[in-house]
Structure 1
Amino acid sequence: MIGKLIRWLIVFPLLGLLLYLGHPFLLRAMGRYLVTEDRLQKADAIVVLAGDGGVGRTLEAVRLYQDGYAPRVILTHQRLPKGYDALVRLGVTVPEERNIQWMVLKAMRVPAGVVLQVDERADSTAGEMAYLAPFLREHRIDTVILVTDRSHSTRATKILARAAGGRIGIFSRPTRYDTFDPERWWHSRNDAKEVLLEYGKLLDYLMQSVNPGFSGLFKGGSSSAVPAERTF
């Protein structure tokens, strides 16, 4: 009995020391896993996922288009923000994300004829991909460059691959205008919130992969943990 106690008294401090010394490596690994950035290759289209307010991801797509990586740009569509309908009834005009995306595209002289739009509004990344996958098949698009935020890129790539049944070539390209730092995310309150929410949503994704009837804990990104435009 005393021997076991002595062993535990030795083991616990050693475990604590290992965790203390190793936690930066574990935290960095957590941040890095969320970021999927493939080597850029030419594709049939650049897909801009909704959910960042319409600027950073769209501007990344513009740069890729201007550099000749794809001849078309595809915009997905998200739900209207809460209270938007009330503003409309009051006669107040506020541009939604799709309008802002078009403002960026026009300002950067991207021809309107190269832009395709998914009309259905999604309330989650899974819903977004459920509309996007058949849209790509309908337009005979076999390869895409997927543009989203850095911390969202791994989950988005996995969900699109599943929705497309592995029939679409996906090159993940997080926007260069996203400030998320996978190497030091725990030093930033906003980055830490993103990481926690993303791992929660990854858990949802895994649960839904195993049990399609599982409705999810983070459906629609309604958590108040991060700003609304970053909860898609």
Structure 2
Amino acid sequence: MMKRIFMKKKRIVFGACVFFLIAIFLLYKPILNGMAHYLVYPDKKQKSDYIILLGGERDGQRTRKAAELYKAGLAPKIIVSSGARISWRTTESKEMVALLKQLGVPNEDIILEQKSRSTYENALYTRELLKGKTLHHKRITLVTDNWHTRRSIFIFRKVFMDSGIEVNSVASYSLEKVWLDNWWQDHESTQEILTEWARLVVYWIKY
């Protein structure tokens, strides 16, 4: 009798394990793909007072997207936010400004923020820059890589929480695209997605 009960329990446990393994096999792709797609915050193109162009780009696509939005009339000014140095001679923000000018954005419509070294500092120093300025739309729009939009929106909205300023974002897409589907099959995409998730979790805990 006891042996029969033991064998029955063993079959139940074995069946549950098989079911669990099959479920993992069938669902791991949607779950991993979902992880990557979650990092991309939906675009929201609304009239804004400033376009906030975040540094950290690799191929100028963030800058091109910011110029495109400026020319489309999304906002009358662009704040370039980056304190990173490319070399002892120049900074990333100056290179981005040079490209904006090449793309037809006049110098008087570009504002430089050159102290930030992280997404949190992008938000912090941007808010400092906007103190005392008159904002008609009470809205800013971030421009950054698609996989960076979720964390950017999260931290900017935290920093601007009591400011009365709405924060939206519009994604740019690098020429060296980070895969959102099957990202674990590409070395660069795997590195980018896992690093971004680690940073997002740190931001959730820290801020």
Tell me the TM-score range normalised by the shorter chain: 0.7 to 0.9
Question: Is the contact made by 1:57 and 1:175 (CA closer than 8 Å) also made in structure 2?
Answer: yes
Q: Determine the structure 1 residue equivalent to 2:20.
A: 15
1:131 equivalent in alignment to 2:125: yes
1:102 equivalent in alignment to 2:100: no
Question: Is the contact made by 2:80 and 2:97 (CA closer than 8 Å) also made in structure 1?
Answer: no
**Against the structure 1 CA distance between its residues 25 and 70, is the aligned structure 2 distance closer, same or farther, given a 3 Å change threshold?**
same
Q: Determine the structure 2 residue equivalent to 1:189.
A: 187
Structure 2 CA distance for aligned equivalents of residues 190 and 78 of structure 1? 25
Unaligned stretches of 5+ in structure 2? 1-5
Question: Is the contact made by 2:113 and 2:126 (CA closer than 8 Å) also made in structure 1?
Answer: yes
For normalisation by structure 1, the TM-score amounts to 0.79
- Aligned ranges for residues 37-48 of structure 1 at < 5 Å? 37-48=42-53
Structure 1 CA distance for aligned equivalents of residues 58 and 160 of structure 2? 26
**Equivalent residue letter for 2:140:** V
- Aligned ranges for residues 42-121 of structure 1 at < 5 Å? 42-53=47-58, 55-80=60-85, 84=87, 88=88, 93=89, 95-119=90-114, 121=115
**Equivalent residue letter for 1:196:** L
Identity of aligned residues (%): 24
- How far residue 102 of structure 1 moved from its aligned partner, in angstroms, is 1.8
Question: Is the contact made by 1:53 and 1:97 (CA closer than 8 Å) also made in structure 2?
Answer: no
Question: Is the contact made by 2:76 and 2:109 (CA closer than 8 Å) also made in structure 1?
Answer: yes
SS of residue in 2 equivalent to 1:48: strand
Structure 2 CA distance for aligned equivalents of residues 96 and 132 of structure 1? 17
- 1:177-201 C-alpha deviation (Å, 9 max, x unpaired): 4522322322321111111011111
- How far residue 8 of structure 1 moved from its aligned partner, in angstroms, is 1.4
- How far residue 4 of structure 1 moved from its aligned partner, in angstroms, is 2.6
Q: How large is the Cα RMSD of the aligned pairs?
A: 1.8
Detail structure 1 runs of 4+ shifted over 3 Å in the superposition: none
**Equivalent residue letter for 2:186:** S
SS of residue in 2 equivalent to 1:138: coil
Q: Match for 1:153 among 130, 149, 154? A: 149
SS of residue in 1 equivalent to 2:131: helix
